[in-house]
């Protein structure tokens, strides 16, 4: 019987796979929730053991400047070389047999919620295709783009290592700029064939974002795409390892978080705006997906 693939949050993953370090512990304690940016060499010496097939709730971007290493994302093995970026997408299964000490570069790790900032928007989030599970996890960095990407990673690293708690607005700004640069490169060197399942999944996600405040069910989207609900679910599951309902709920939760963060609407007003006539059902839906109530989420934002 195969062991169950565990899904980690950032703290649990560090505790499982990295040696305790007073310097790093101090950095992580004062950081934003589920965000860090460090040089790979700052972390690689502290790896305790090979990383078994795992999932994380956060994204990890690794830019290799020197050395190479092998890793698996999903069922496929990749050899990451200098001037390449590797993306462990949130929710993707990954594993790494060994991180060699000669690997140099940067690793930037962030929870999707960090993108729901004062200046964020859900349309932009939807455009970062390389963060979607199932998409090609390697981006080649061109010579012309390399200085800008290095500068952004240096700035994020500096902000993370600063004596004070990282500035949320600074992190948002530089992180968005980094993702925008990577999206341009992803579009330029994305030449692999996309399966029929991937195409259906992309169309489904586009419709889900466009109709996010209508509280539609999977059967509605299947009808729009002229496929059966079962076929839609199979296609989405094949591409993302998640059901169509799970993806639809995730997109709804992102929209709700934006409204809680950026609007002055009351909880009941947000519920109605999202197509929920029963505010208590809306609260239960949000808590099931996030672990906290809408009010607790908003209070947490105000304290950050």
Q: What is the pLDDT of residue 189?
A: 65
Asked if 228 and 234 touch (Cβ cutoff 8 Å), the reply is: no
> DSSP E strands: which ranges in the chain?
6-8, 35-39, 51-56, 59-66, 69-73, 76-80, 84-88, 94-96, 104-110, 138-140
Q: What is the pLDDT of residue 302?
A: 64
Beta carbons within 8 Å of 304's beta carbon, 6+ residues apart: 32, 33, 168
Beta carbons within 8 Å of 53's beta carbon, 6+ residues apart: 5, 72, 93, 94, 95
Q: CA-CA distance, 169 to 122, in Å (whole number)?
A: 17
Q: CA-CA distance, 288 to 286, in Å (whole number)?
A: 6
Asked if 16 and 41 touch (Cβ cutoff 8 Å), the reply is: no
Q: What is the pLDDT of residue 228?
A: 95
Domains observed in the chain:
6-189 (2.60.120.280), 196-303 (1.10.10.60)
Q: CA-CA distance, 186 to 235, in Å (whole number)?
A: 23
* pLDDT tens for the chain, residues 1 to 304: 345 677 887 778 877 877 777 777 777 776 666 788 989 888 766 666 778 888 888 899 999 999 998 999 876 899 999 999 999 988 888 888 776 668 899 999 998 878 776 555 555 666 788 888 778 899 999 999 999 999 999 999 999 888 788 888 888 889 999 999 999 898 776 655 467 887 888 889 888 888 989 999 999 999 999 999 999 999 998 877 789 999 999 889 988 988 888 788 999 999 999 999 999 999 999 999 999 999 999 887 765 5
Q: What is the pLDDT of residue 1?
A: 38
Q: What is the pLDDT of residue 303?
A: 58
Q: Which pTM does this prediction carry?
A: 0.73
Q: Is 163 exposed, middle or buried (0-12, 13-18, 19+ CB in 10 A)?
A: exposed
């Amino acid at each position: 019987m195969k062991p169950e693939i565990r899904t980690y949050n950032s703290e649990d993953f560090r505790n499982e796979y990295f040696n305790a370090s007073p310097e790093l512990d101090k950095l992580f304690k004062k950081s934003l929730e589920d965000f860090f940016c460090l040089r790979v060499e700052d972390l690689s010496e502290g790896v305790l053991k090979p990383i078994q097939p795992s999932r994380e709730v956060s994204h990890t971007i690794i830019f290799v400047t020197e050395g190479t290493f092998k890793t698996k994302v999903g069922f496929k093995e990749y050899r990451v070389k200098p001037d390449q970026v590797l993306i462990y997408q949130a929710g993707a299964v990954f594993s790494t047999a060994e991180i060699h000490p000669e690997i140099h570069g940067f690793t930037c790790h962030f929870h999707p919620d960090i993108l729901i900032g004062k200046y964020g928007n859900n349309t932009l989030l939807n455009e970062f295709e390389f963060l979607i599970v199932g998409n090609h996890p390697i981006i080649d960095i061109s010579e012309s783009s390399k200085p800008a990407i290095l500068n952004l990673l240096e700035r994020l690293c500096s902000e993370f290592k600063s004596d004070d708690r990282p500035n949320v607005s600074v992190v948002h700004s530089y992180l968005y700029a980094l993702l925008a640069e990577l999206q341009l490169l992803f579009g330029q060197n994305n030449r692999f064939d996309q399966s029929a399942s991937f195409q259906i999944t992309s169309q489904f996600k586009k419709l889900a974002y466009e109709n996010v405040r209508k509280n539609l069910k999977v059967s509605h989207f299947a009808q729009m795409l002229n496929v059966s609900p079962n076929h839609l679910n199979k296609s989405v599951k094949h591409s993302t390892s998640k059901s169509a309902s799970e993806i639809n709920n995730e997109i709804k939760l992102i929209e709700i978080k934006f409204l809680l963060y950026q609007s002055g609407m009351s909880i009941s007003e947000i519920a109605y705006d999202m197509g929920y006539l029963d505010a208590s059902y809306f609260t239960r839906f949000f808590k099931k997906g996030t672990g906290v109530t809408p009010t607790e989420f908003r209070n947490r934002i105000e304290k950050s």
